Structure formats: C-alpha cells, structure tokens
Structure 1
Amino acid sequence: MLELEPRTIACVVGARPNFVKIAPIIRAISARKGLVARLIHTGQHYDVAMNAVFFDELGIPLPDVNLEVGSGTGTEQTARIMLGMESELSNKTPDLLLVVGDVNSTVASALVAAKLRIPIAHVEAGLRSKDRSMPEEINRLITDRLSDLLFTTEHSAVDNLIGEGVSPGRIVFVGNVMIDTLHACLHRAAPARETLTEIGVAPAIAEDVASRGFALVTLHRPSNVDDPDKLALLLEALARIAQKIPLVFPLHPRTGSMIESADLGGFLRSSPIIVAPPLSYLRAIGLMREARFVVTDSGGVQEETTALGTPCLTVRNSTERPITIEQGTNLLVATLDELNAAVDDILDNGGKKGRIPPLWDGRAAERIAEEIDAFLAHERLPLPA
C-alpha cells in the first residue's frame, strides 16, 4: 500500500501563556500516525531565559523557527509577526495552522494563513468578555472569524460563536488544554516554602508563611497597571491586605516597569508584600495550589484556580471565562471595596467553593488531535469560496 506523506500542523506560540496551552497539543499531534507538528515561536515574549525555563518544564521541543519579533506597540508587533509568518508559511506551507489563545501572535498568524488559503484551527475559540476596549477581545473576534476549526473550552463559547453566525459544524467542544498541562505537571510543582526561599525569603520566614497561609497576586492588564493613579490605589489596597495575610507578588515585566516609571515602588517597600521576579510554571502552580486565595487579572489563572479549588478574586469588570464564575472558584471584584470585602469573606469563611467544569479532564489535546486528523483526512469542512 502506498504510504501517504505526513500532514504538517504548524503550531504557533508567542507569549508564555501559549506555551502552557501548546505543550499537550504538540504531544497529542505527535502521537498520531500521519501527523507532524512544526512549532513556530514568534518571539512576542522575548525573555530568552524565561522562555527556556518554560520549554524545559513543559517538555516542549525547541521551536523549528523563532521569528524574534520582540516588543513594540500592539500594531507594530502584529505587523512584524505578519511579515515573518508570511515568509515562513510561504516557504514551508503546512496543511493546517493551529493557534491558541488571544495574543497578538494568534491574530497575526491567522490573518496570514487566511490570505494564503491555509486552513486554521483556533484553540480557546468563542471566549468573549464583551469588552472591546481589551485588545485581546479584538484578537478573539478576528481569529474566530477566520478559523475553520473552532475548539472551545466551555459551552458559553459555543453559544457565542453560534450567536455570531458561525456554522455549528465548525465548532467542537473539546475542554481545556490548560488543565491538561496542570494535570501533567502538578506532581512536579514546587512547594511554596521552596519557592519563597529561592526568591530570597529567609528559610524560617518562608516556612512560617507557607505553614500559616498566604495569598498570591498576579496583575498585568493595561486596565489595571497603565494608569498610575489607578495602579497607586491598587498597590495601596494590596498593602492593606498584606497586613492581614502575607501576599506573594511576582511582578510581571509590564507591571514592574509601570511601578518604576510612576515611582510607586514605595508602596511595595513599605509593606510586608513579598515581591518576586516572574516565576516558572512549576513554581507558579505550586504557589497557586497552596495559596489561601489568588488576586489576579489573568484569564488563565482564573481557570487554573478553578481546577485547583483555590478561591480567585479577579480584578476586572468582566471575564471572557464565565464558567469560572458560574461553576468555579472565581469572583469578579470590580472595585477596591469589593476586593476588600471578598478578602475578608475568604479569611473569615473560606471563600467561594466550586466544581470542575465538564471536559476539564486532562484529555482536551487528545480530542483536538483527533478532530484535526479527521478534518485533514476527509476535508469535511472545505474552505469558503
């Protein structure tokens, strides 16, 4: 029997959250006979040391190519990614392009693939915050419009896509690949006392903080950190919370830069907040697992805390992941008064309890690979004319 050429899936990553999502997908694609994964790193997040740590911890093979686009405004970065992707996809045309999440790399790569008539699969399709002031919301809307296969993590995403006129035959509810990675890595997660010691906390204090309980803080969205006045109020609120329970605050590069440029470091230096550099995945999920609660504005952290059963306070007006509110441990806190009240409730009563959403079972990537295999084998969803 004539053996067919393997079909190539170009998998795009650019920002660190993408690495967490792509890891199980690469493994699942590689496990299927006749499918080959080609990994393209746009270089949107360009910290070489941190990237290397994530690739090593998550077991991701080194990228086949790194476009090294670097930083810039959203428009500059998107344009550079498109130029690099056009060259890459024209020279080595894949059978399908797979993109994950909602970062600039996601939408830029999808735009190029659509123009080159390459089928597109979008993982985490259909998530909507209904807030178009968020750059990620624009990225989600455009990517979903261009995609041929739309893989969803929750039923509300399916409803969103159908409401926007997407054919139900192109939508597949597969579950959440971030939870695949969480399941695969949790047994290797670093204990909190170990991480605290590594970031410079004295061993005796690290032991005390880990045993008495602490909260984890992650903040990076422009709506929270770009306005110096709002950022000052938020840091002041965190300093007050730290008087009640130790806070561990790994500083996202964006947040650290804004604190420095606005001369707001005094809020951190004069409070008992434990400031940390950006953490590797295994250290982050270890802290998240042991924390009494998490204060965040990250979409992925909302999902991970729900899977771990850790109360989560999301400092935003809306979320594109409503299942973490409806079924999980997440609570939106749009004002500082709401944040303070929620913290007190957690400390007094334990906070919100939740359950694991459907298909957050660690096998989402396997379902994605199976659907891609069937799509390419039978061409069941031809590209529109």
Structure 2
Amino acid sequence: MHVTGARPNFPKAAPVLAALEKRGVRQLLVHTGQHYDANMSEVFFRDLGLPAPDLNLGVGSGSHAVQTAAMMTALEETFLAERPDLVLVYGDVNSTVAAALVAAKLGIRCAHVEAGLRSFDWSMPEEVNRVVTDRLSDLLFATSADALVHLAREGVDPDRMHFVGNPMIDTLLRLRDRFDGSRVVAEVGLPDEYAVATLHRPGNVDDPAALDRLVAALRATADRIDVVLPVHPRGRERLAASGLFDHPRMHATEPLGYLEFLGLVEKSRLVVTDSGGIQEETTVLGVPCLTLRPNTERPVTITHGTNRLVTPDTLADHVDGVLDGTLAIGDQVPPLWDGAAGERIAGIVVDQL
C-alpha cells in the first residue's frame, strides 16, 4: 500500500508504482487528501499518468495535530481493513509520519522512500517527520550517500538501508520532453529571460518581520529580472498584502501542474525557492537555484549541483552573480540519479515480500 498526500509525494511514488506493477505486485494507492486543491493534487495525477487513488481519505487542512490525528484515524481503519504486507511512504509530509506511526502500532512493515535526509533544524516540521518516520520504518530507501551516513550515526541497522537513487528524478527524466510552460509565459507576458520563485515555508511567510525582508529581497530581484511566482495557497493572502505584486516585473500565477511548472523552470535563467524538491530538479535541469533557507537537507544539490543557500540580504548579489556569469555553478548529477531508482526500489520490495 502506497500512502501519499501532498504534491511532493506524487512524482516520487509514480515510478515505484509503475515498477511494481510490471512485477505483478498487488498494490493499493491511498491519497490522504492533505493537498486537496485541484492544482495541488488532481493535476499531478493527470500529468504523471498516475492511476486514480484506490482510496481518498479527504482529510483536508488543519493544524499539524488536527491533520495528523485525522490521517491516523482514517489510516488505521484502512490498514485494518486491507492488512497490507508493506506500507510505502514518501518524503516528509504529515501523511508520511501519520502512516508510519499507524503501521508501527499495528505491526505492519513500513518502507520510507527518501530516508535519511537531515537539515538538523528542529524548527522545521518536516525534520520532525523525517526523523520519526525513519525511526519507525523497516526499509529505508536513500536518495544520496549523505543520507546513509545520517542513518548510520543514528544507529540504523545497515541491512535496513538501501542506496537506490532519486525516484523523483525518474519522473523528471521520463516526462522531460513534455515540459511546456508556454501558456504561462504567454498569459503573464514574460520576456525571454526570467526567473521562477516559489515560497511556502512558515519560517519565510508566517513571521511578519521575516516576510518584510523576503519581500524586499524579491523586489530587488525583480529590479534585475522578471520573476514569475506560482502562489501556494497557504501564503497567498500574506504575499498579496505585502505589496510584493505591486512591482511591475513580479508576476503571480495560480499553482501550476507538474508539466507546466517544470516547463517554466527548465527555460528560466534562475530559480529562487525555499522548497526541497526544486533544489533537486534544478540540479538535474542545470538551472541555477538560490535557496532562501539557512540550511538544506539536500546538501548533494550544493556539492554536485546548481544550488546555493542564500539569505534575503545576499539574494540580490547572488542574482547578479548568476546573470553576469561570475557565480560558479556546479554541473554534476549526483550518483544514481539516472532514472532507474523506481526499478531498484521495486526489486528490493519484491525480495523483501
């Protein structure tokens, strides 16, 4: 049983589902409904060619406690009814930790895809989710070598750890020739050279003082290059009220589907983000990525790829460095980010089952 719930889960699950189907494994796909907006969920199933979920629990939004509790209650009923041999969870969202907790309490084996990533920043809800999920999981599928080191330091049995590569990159490579951001470019009126921004983390958009610094930095970026910002639902009102979109070269759009968004990213001059997954996607696409965070759980995107950590105060200087070519950007693709991670995961799952 695959448990997904939020936009970042879907491109990670798609290649695993496909590889297990080829091996004749009986599967059920559960969508908790953590992301329920059509542009945050339904369009991803369509773009990625995912089967319709066998079950949609429809939990919706709420505080971390309310949302996770609702998921655990619904997942417990589901697990008891279906009695899966293995539950596969993905990434670091609330759906992931909820499923791992319920599986552990019921004595059902759990596998965590994207295990071992660490930011060491306990103010991030995702860090709590990652650590708890890894502690409870029987199989840990790592996307990078540093993740194996973190797990080993935490005392994880090496037999439970498997370095498989990044299934999200499987999806990117499979669908790359279908990326197309031309509709958004035309509707917004973007020039040939533009930047893409994404912002949603509470540390950036919930604190008024932090948001003021962020808006000033983004406006300074827009002084240099047009910026298109698909607006995440959780930050829409605050960003609009901040006056960010009063800048003539700052362009807001609705959340975009997978193919449109990565079509925009692939053709962009640079990306400004606080997201985890986009750091990985830009590394493979060769697009400079400036991450507005003090840390990253994906350091391989810095050591091998195009990613740089920046602050609001240093963002404009880094943008200048990208635009004038003085900022050195890596061009290596991390090991095993080769489009075959889903096949590796499926092979291990079948052996375990």
- Is the shorter-chain TM-score for this pair beyond 0.5, marking a shared fold? yes
Report the equivalent of 1:48: 38
Q: Indicate conservation of the 8 Å contact 1:239/1:271, yes or no.
A: no
- Percent of aligned positions with the same letter in both sequences? 53
CA, structure 1 residues 219+50, in 2 after alignment: closer, same or farther (shift >3 Å)? closer
Report the equivalent of 1:4: none
Q: Which runs of 5+ in 1 are unaligned?
A: 1-9, 377-385
Choose 250-259 or 84-93, whichever is displaced more: 250-259
Please list the CA deviations of residues 84-103 of structure 1 after superposition, one character each: whole Å capped at 9, or x if unmatched. Answer: 00000001110100000000
Please list the CA deviations of residues 113-158 of structure 1 after superposition, one character each: whole Å capped at 9, or x if unmatched. Answer: 0111110000000000001110000000000000110000000000
Aligned residue pair count = 352
Q: Indicate conservation of the 8 Å contact 1:218/1:251, yes or no.
A: yes
Larger radius of gyration: 1
Report the equivalent of 1:372: 349
Report the equivalent of 1:5: none
What RMSD over aligned residues (CA atoms) do the two structures have, in Å? 1.2
CA distance in 1, matches of 2:77, 2:282: 39
2:143 is the counterpart of 1:153 = yes
Q: Which runs of 5+ in 2 are unaligned?
A: none
Superposed, which structure 2 residues align to 1:1-385 within 5 Å? 10-33=1-24, 35-48=25-38, 50-190=40-180, 192-197=181-186, 200-201=187-188, 205-206=189-190, 209=191, 211=192, 213-260=193-240, 263-264=241-242, 266-333=243-310, 335-349=311-325, 351=327, 352-376=329-353
Q: Secondary structure at the match of 1:44?
A: coil
Counterpart of 2:210, as a letter, is K
Choose 102-111 or 247-256, whichever is displaced more: 247-256
Counterpart of 2:11, as a letter, is V
Q: Secondary structure at the match of 2:26?
A: strand
Query: Once the 2 structures are TM-superposed, how far is the Cα of residue 323 of structure 1 from its aligned partner?
Result: 0.3
Q: Secondary structure at the match of 1:97?
A: strand
Query: Once the 2 structures are TM-superposed, how far is the Cα of residue 350 of structure 1 from its aligned partner?
Result: 6.0
Q: Secondary structure at the match of 1:36?
A: coil
CA distance in 1, matches of 2:176, 2:50: 16
CA distance in 1, matches of 2:19, 2:142: 17
CA, structure 1 residues 248+316, in 2 after alignment: closer, same or farther (shift >3 Å)? same
TM-score, with structure 2 as normaliser: 0.97
Moved over 6 A (4+): none
Q: Secondary structure at the match of 2:115?
A: coil
Q: Secondary structure at the match of 2:28?
A: strand
Q: Indicate conservation of the 8 Å contact 1:153/1:173, yes or no.
A: yes
Counterpart of 1:227, as a letter, is D
- By relative contact order (CA 8 Å, sep 6+), the higher-ranking structure is 2
Q: Secondary structure at the match of 1:354?
A: coil
Query: Once the 2 structures are TM-superposed, how far is the Cα of residue 49 of structure 1 from its aligned partner?
Result: 5.2
CA distance in 2, matches of 1:281, 1:175: 21
Q: Indicate conservation of the 8 Å contact 1:235/1:268, yes or no.
A: no
Choose 250-259 or 164-173, whichever is displaced more: 250-259
Q: Secondary structure at the match of 1:298?
A: coil
Q: Secondary structure at the match of 2:168?
A: helix
CA distance in 2, matches of 1:179, 1:37: 22
Query: Once the 2 structures are TM-superposed, how far is the Cα of residue 229 of structure 1 from its aligned partner?
Result: 2.1
Report the equivalent of 1:6: none
